Structure 1
Amino acid sequence: MRLKQLHIRYYPPGIILDFEKGGQLRTKSIDLLDLTPECDANEVLLEIRRLEPLITVSREEQVKFLIKKLQDKLSQPDDHKFDLFKTLQAHILPLTNVAFNKSGSSFITGSYDRTCKIWDTASGTELHTLEGHKNVVYAVAFNNPYGDKIATGSFDKTCRLWSVETGQCFYTFRGHTAEIVCLAFNPQSTLVATGSMDTTVKLWDVESGVEVSTLSGHSAEIISLSFNTVGSRLVTGSFDHTVSVWDVPSGRLVHNLKGHRGEISSVNFNWDSSLIVTASMDKTCKVWDAEGGRCLATLTGHNDEVLDVCFNFKGQLIATASADGTSRVYDAQTFQFVCKLEGHEGEISKVCFNPQGTCVLTGSADKTARVWSVSSGSCLQVLEGHTDEIFSCAFNYYGDTIITGSKDNTCRIWR
C-alpha cells in the first residue's frame, strides 16, 4: 500500500487518504469526531500514527497541519444570519422535496408537476428541467459526494437516473408495482435504492441500469430508507410499524426492529454506523444498536406524531420534528433530552442540523422555516415569506445557505 494524497474533510471532521493497493487507487477516512479546538494536536497526531500505518514519519507535518486547520474551522463563531436572496417560481404545482449537491453549488427540486429541476445556487438560475415522469416526482437525490447524477422517484412507479451536466436520462428503472416514495444512492454511487408503496425496496445498478435485488419482507408501504456510511447496510422504515436492516451485497435481512406502535416516518444511521434512529406516528423515536438490533432507548416527550428525525454530522445529537408543532433535541450518547424548540404554529414535517451541529432548521405547515440554537433552544431566525406549507428545507455543506421548498410552488434561497 502506498499513500498518494491527503485531503481535509470539515463535516464531520476528518482526513481522507488516497492510497494505492494492488495497482488500484482507493480511499479511506480517519474520522476525528471528538476533535475540539482545545485538543493537543501532537497527541491527536500520535494517536493517528498508532492506528494508521499509512501515516509515516514523512507525513507527520502535513497531518499536523490538517489537524490544526480542522481545529481552526471548529473554533470559528457560527453566527450567520440568513437573508432572502431569491424566490424562484420553480414549478407550476407544489414542490415535494429539495436537495443540495455535496458542495452546495447546485440543488434540485421535485414537484407535483411531474418534473425535477436543477438550479445554480449562486445565481438562482435554472440549469435543466428533467422531464419524462408521468406522475408526481416525489423523491429526489444527488449521488453525493460526486454530484454528477440525479435519481428521481415518482408516483408513476418508476425511478429515473439523469446526467447533471446534460439533463439527459440515462435509465428508467421499472419494476415497482406502486408509487416510489423514497430513494437513496449508496456512498460509492454504484447503487440506487428505491422504496415503494408496494412494500418492497429495489436496488439498481447505476452503471448498467439493471435491477440487482428486491428486498421483500415488509407488509405495508416503505416510507423511508437510508444507507450506512460505508454502504454495507440499508435500513428501511414501513407503515407496518417495523424497521428492517438489510445486508446490501447479499440482499439478506439482518434485523427486524420491532417495538413501535405506529407507522414509521423516518429512519437514519449515524455517521459511524453504530446507531439507527427511527421516528414513528406513535409519538416516539427509538435508538437502536445497528449491529445487534437491540433497542437502546425510546425518546419521548412529543404529544403528537413524530414526522422526521435526524442525527447531526458527528452522530452525537438527534433532532425530531413533530405534528405537535415542536422539535426536540436529544443527546445521542446518553439519550438525555437537551432542549425543546417551540414557536411554530403548525406541524413540523422536516428537521435538519447545520453541518457544524450548532443549529437546527425546521420547516412547518405554518409557512415558515426557523433556525434554532442547539445550545439554548432559542429561535435565532424566522424565515418568512412563503404563502403555503413548507414541505422541505436543507442546509448546504458549509451551513451558510438554506433552501426551502413549499406547497406555494416556489423555492427560496436564503444566505
Structure 2
Amino acid sequence: MSDIDSIVEEIQKAEPLITASRTQQVKHLILRLQEKIGQHDNRQFYLFKVLRAHILPLTNVAFNKSGSSFITGSYDRTCKVWDTASGEELHTLEGHRNVVYAIQFNNPYGDKIATGSFDKTCKLWSAETGKCYHTFRGHTAEIVCLAFNPQSTLVATGSMDTTAKLWDIQSGEETMTLTGHSAEIISMSFNTMGDRLITGSFDHTVSVWEIPSGRRIHTLIGHRGEISSAQFNWDCSLIATASMDKSCKLWDSLNGKCVATLTGHEDEVLDVTFDSAGQLVATASADGTARVYSAASRKCLAKLEGHEGEISKICFNAQGNRILTASADKTSRLWDPHTGECLQVLKGHTDEIFSCAFNYEGNTIITGSKDNTCRIWR
C-alpha cells in the first residue's frame, strides 16, 4: 500500500482546485482505487448466452465504454445493437449494400455508432434509436477500419483505396482526405488528445498525422511486411506496430524513430495492444502464441502458449491483470500477463473466433466467431 497522505499531498500540489476541504473525499477515492487494483480476481467465466444474430458470419464485435451494450457487424450487411445484461437485440442498423466490416461506438460517450462497409460508405447512427444520421460517401473502395476522435467530433475512415478520410459528425461533411500511403489502410487510431492520428498500411509503413491540419508529421519506416495493427500507449509517447514480417516495433511518437524491435514470433504478428497503463505490450501471432513485453525494458516477460491455431486478436482488461485471446482453434483464452499462465479456455464456438472484448469492469467477455454466433461470458 502506498502512503495515502503523501499521494493526496502530491495531488493537491499539482491541482490547486483540490482544496483542503476535499482532502477526505480524495483519500476515500484513492482507497477505493487501491482496493480495486488490489483485487486478485480469480473469476471463472461461464457462458451466459449464445446470440445467433446474423445469417452470415460476423466481422467484428465492440462494447460501449460501460459495457451495457455491444454491437456486432456482419457479412449480412447489418450491424446489430445488443443489451449485454439480457442478451436482447435492441436495434438492427440496416442500409449498407455490402459487408459491414468496421464498427465502433464513440466511446466514452457511447451514444453514436459508426459502421464502415465494403459498399465504400461509412454510416453514423444513433445508438439509442438506431436512426441513421449521415452516410459518408467519397471513398472509391472498401472501408476496412475506422475510429472516432476522443472528443467525438470526427470520425476517421481507412480504405482499400489507400486513403483515410475525416468526417464532421455534426454536419456530415468530409473535412479532409489523407493521402500518401501506396496500399490499403488497415488500422487507425487517435491519440488521447485527438491531435494525432496513426494509419497502418499494407505498404509496410505507418503514418502519423497532425489533426486538424492533416499534415503528415512522420512516416514510420522499417517493417518488411504489411502492417496488421498500430496503437498508441496511454500517454501517447509510444506507438506499437505489428507486422506480417513476424515482428512488432516500438516507436517514439515525438520523433518517429524506432526505439525497439520485439522479436521471437515465428510467423506473422496479427495484433498488438498496450495495457491501459502503457507498461506492457502484448502481441498475437499466426504461430499460435502470444507474447507479453515490458514497454520500458523491451524484454519478453511471458509467452502465452496453448492455442492450436493462429491468434488474431489480443486485449487486456481495463485493470491490466488479464489478457484475452481469440484464435482459429475455436477457443478464446484468458491469461495472466505476468506469469503467462492460461487461466481459462472458453470453449463452444464451432468455427474460428476472430474477435473478443472485455467490458470496462472486466466481468463480461464477448466473442465473435465465423460460426455466425456471438457469445456472452460472465
Tell me which interval the TM-score lies in, with the shorter structure as reference length: over 0.9
1:309 aligns with 2:268: no
For the residue of structure 1 that corresponds to 2:97, the secondary structure is coil
Residue 356 of structure 1: how far off its partner (Å): 1.3
User: Which residue of 2 is the match for residue 287 of structure 1?
Assistant: 250
Residue 90 of structure 1: how far off its partner (Å): 1.2
1:126 aligns with 2:97: no
Q: Distance in 1 between matches of 2:218 and 2:25?
A: 42
Residue 61 of structure 1: how far off its partner (Å): 2.1
Q: Distance in 1 between matches of 2:254 and 2:159?
A: 25
Residue 358 of structure 1: how far off its partner (Å): 1.1
1:108-167 C-alpha deviation (Å, 9 max, x unpaired) = 000011000000000100000000000100000000111100000000000000001110
User: Which residue of 1 is the match for residue 45 of structure 2?
Assistant: 82
For the residue of structure 2 that corresponds to 1:324, the secondary structure is coil
User: Which residue of 2 is the match for residue 208 of structure 1?
Assistant: 171
- The match for 2:74 among 107, 111, 125 is 111
State how many pairs are aligned. 378
Q: Distance in 2 between matches of 1:254 and 1:57?
A: 44
Q: Distance in 1 between matches of 2:108 and 2:291?
A: 29
Counterpart AA for 1:225: M
Give percent identity, aligned residues only.
Answer: 75
Q: Distance in 1 between matches of 2:17 and 2:157?
A: 37
1:325-404 correspondence runs (5 A) = 325-404=288-367
| More displaced stretch, 51-60 vs 197-206 | 51-60
Counterpart AA for 1:216: T
Residue 389 of structure 1: how far off its partner (Å): 0.8
Counterpart AA for 1:71: Q
For the residue of structure 2 that corresponds to 1:412, the secondary structure is strand
Counterpart AA for 1:406: S
Residue 59 of structure 1: how far off its partner (Å): 2.2
User: Which residue of 2 is the match for residue 223 of structure 1?
Assistant: 186
For the residue of structure 2 that corresponds to 1:114, the secondary structure is coil
For the residue of structure 2 that corresponds to 1:183, the secondary structure is strand
Q: Distance in 1 between matches of 2:296 and 2:60?
A: 30
- The match for 2:117 among 150, 154, 161 is 154
Q: Distance in 1 between matches of 2:294 and 2:155?
A: 31
Residue 51 of structure 1: how far off its partner (Å): 1.5
For the residue of structure 1 that corresponds to 2:114, the secondary structure is strand
* Structure 1 ranges of 4+ moved more than 4 A: none
User: Which residue of 2 is the match for residue 53 of structure 1?
Assistant: 16
User: Which residue of 2 is the match for residue 172 of structure 1?
Assistant: 135
Normalised by the size of structure 1, how large is the TM-score?
Answer: 0.90
1:70 aligns with 2:17: no
Q: Distance in 1 between matches of 2:157 and 2:121?
A: 9
1:251 aligns with 2:214: yes
User: Which residue of 2 is the match for residue 182 of structure 1?
Assistant: 145
Q: Distance in 2 between matches of 1:41 and 1:236?
A: 41
1:401-412 correspondence runs (5 A) = 401-412=364-375
Residue 82 of structure 1: how far off its partner (Å): 0.3
- The match for 2:240 among 274, 277, 290 is 277
Q: Distance in 1 between matches of 2:173 and 2:3?
A: 50
Structure 1 alignment gaps of length 5 or more: 1-37
Q: Distance in 2 between matches of 1:62 and 1:298?
A: 44
Q: Distance in 1 between matches of 2:149 and 2:90?
A: 25
